[in-house]
Structure 1
Amino acid sequence: MALKVFDLQCESGHVFEGWFASHEDYDQQVAKGWLSCPVCDSKTITKKLSAPRLNLRHASAAEAAPAKVDVATIQAKLLQQLKQVIKNTDDVGDNFAQEARKMHEGESPERAIRGSATVEEYQSLREEGIAVLPIPEFLDEDKLN
């Protein structure tokens, strides 16, 4: 079976791949709100112009079988890593953008921080050369212990 591989982009400009059975499958998943950006969880997704690609599964015995992906294990490992990030960072709340700038400019000591920022603030920080990465807000610090 051939899968269609599309380059997708969210409203914030994050680019990622999506694999679909057909163009109609993609359209249906977008219409039902099943697609979201893996970086910022935006549901506003569009297809980027790209060369068509197909992921072909060959049934030939001479070829090695593809490795099975255990999604639950991957999700558990990702969640564990996010918990570590949260435990090892200072929560600066809504002052994230300001504190990141202070550290970048040497006005505040360098340390790992986390907090809240708007999409515009994240974009502005990146344009200023400050490396930032949004992480999901669904993780409750009190439940990490």
Structure 2
Amino acid sequence: MITYTLSCAAGHRFDGWFRSADAFEDQRVKGVLTCPDCGSASVDKAIMAPSVARRDTGRMPVSAGHPDQATILAAMRALKRKLMSEAENVGDRFAEEARKIHFEEADPRGIYGQATPDEARALAEEGIPFMPLPDLPEEQN
């Protein structure tokens, strides 16, 4: 896992976790990375200070083999299940439904589904808030 500090075109900074440097680049090129503050799909790596563990803080990075990995993955699975159980699956109509809700042409409700990179980019440019659900390891098989 690689953690990058990311920045959008509006200057918002946030962290992103990726399987590899290639995974980051692939997501960036496809336009699926979006700013959690403004939804912009214009996201790139920001200048970062190196991460150096200090003995006096007791904080250390968690490796992929760390015992807490299972706990973290379980929490992510539970969160994703909760979000999906409380929202409507609109499938490939996600961008259309998100617009209707945003412009008050449909009742506000939680939705999830699929959007192409172009659709996600357009939603972000229109200022329509959305966020991707986390990809879990078992979904990559």
Fold similarity call, TM over 0.5: yes
**CA distance in structure 1 between the aligned counterparts of 2:28 and 2:125, rounded to whole angstroms:** 24
Runs of 5+ consecutive residues of structure 2 not aligned to the other structure: 8-12, 30-43, 63-67
Identity of aligned residues (%): 31
- What's the RMSD between the two structures over aligned residues? 3.4
**CA distance in structure 1 between the aligned counterparts of 2:106 and 2:116, rounded to whole angstroms:** 21
1:42 to partner: Cα distance: 3.0
What TM-score, normalized by structure 1, do the two folds share?
A: 0.57
**CA distance in structure 2 between the aligned counterparts of 1:129 and 1:64, rounded to whole angstroms:** 40
Aligned twin of 1:36: 23
Matched, 1:65 2:66: no
**CA distance in structure 2 between the aligned counterparts of 1:57 and 1:129, rounded to whole angstroms:** 38
Q: Aligned pairs, how many?
A: 108
Cα pair 2:93 2:114 within 8 Å, conserved: yes
**CA distance in structure 1 between the aligned counterparts of 2:134 and 2:4, rounded to whole angstroms:** 24
**CA distance in structure 1 between the aligned counterparts of 2:117 and 2:131, rounded to whole angstroms:** 11
Structure whose CA Rg is larger? 1
Cα pair 1:89 1:113 within 8 Å, conserved: yes
SS at match of 1:106: coil
Identify which of structures 1 and 2 has the higher relative contact order when contacts are C-alpha pairs closer than 8 Å and 6+ apart. 2
What TM-score, normalized by structure 2, do the two folds share?
A: 0.59
